[in-house]
Amino acid sequence: MAGRLTGVQVGIVNVAGELEGFPVGVVNLTRKEDRRVRLAAWAGNTALLNAGVKISAKKFYSIVYAGTVNLTQDERSGLAYGFQYGYGLPLRKPDDAAREMRVNVDAGYLYLDNSTVFRHLEGTPDRHVVSVRGGLEFVLSSQISLVAGLGLRYTIDYGQSLGSGRLSPLVFAGVELF
What phi and psi values does residue 99 have, to the nearest 5 degrees? -105, 15
Q: Would you kindly state where each structural domain of the chain is located, as residue ranges?
A: 31-177
- Topology of the domain covering 31-177: Porin (2.40.160)
How many whole angstroms from its chain centre is CA 133?
A: 9
Give the integer Cα–Cα distance in Å for 37 and 27. 10
pLDDT at 117: 61
Q: What confidence tens digit (pLDDT) does each residue in 143-168 have? A: 999 999 999 999 999 889 999 999 99
Give the integer Cα–Cα distance in Å for 108 and 28. 15
Q: What confidence tens digit (pLDDT) does each residue in 21-68 have? A: 777 777 777 776 567 899 999 999 999 999 999 998 888 899 999 999
Q: Is the pTM higher than 0.75? A: yes
